[in-house]
Structure 1
């Protein structure tokens, strides 16, 4: 009976050791699980940040195109103003040329009338002679 008692005590010690090892293993697993959970949180956070970065990059590209469009419009407005100035200058030149033409036509009419009058006088003189 004493042998049996010793055997039972050894079995109990082995089971207690096994239970203690299992508890220790369970604690390690819990610790590892917590560590993995924090890794998952970090990974999820990193993924969210990547998504936000991609969205910001897309928005940045959109804003760059808007800036390009705005710059193009500003350049076109400057060109329009320059063309208006050139147009006004050309309109003034056309007015001046029109006045010069009218003056030239009037001068030519006067000259033609003078020549016609001179020819008329010469015919009269010829007829008298």
Structure 2
């Protein structure tokens, strides 16, 4: 049973790492002049934001994929994933409701943050049952 629970945790970490690596493609958006969702053109500020977001996503993605093979680090990455998922979801909701960003801009990070926030809650309970 412990092996099956570890497999679930590993799948969540691995899939979240892969999603993060796809988000890291934002690093290349300014280079190829691909607009961010909801923006028609790039300013230097948006290029900076896209690059910073891409670097952070790439770092977390590599860390999650590496951690998916290291059960001794499951708990810390679960806590970080839970915090990231909840924070991202709340930030998107606040930005949509109070700052007037479009639903298109908020939709993708809100859905990813919510899905992985829920998955990491399940992982946290699974991890507690393992130990």
| Category of TM-score, reference length = shorter chain | under 0.3
Answer 1 or 2: which has greater helix percent.
1
The two structures have a TM-score, normalised by structure 1, of 0.24
The two structures have a TM-score, normalised by structure 2, of 0.24
Question: Which one has the largest radius of gyration?
Answer: 1
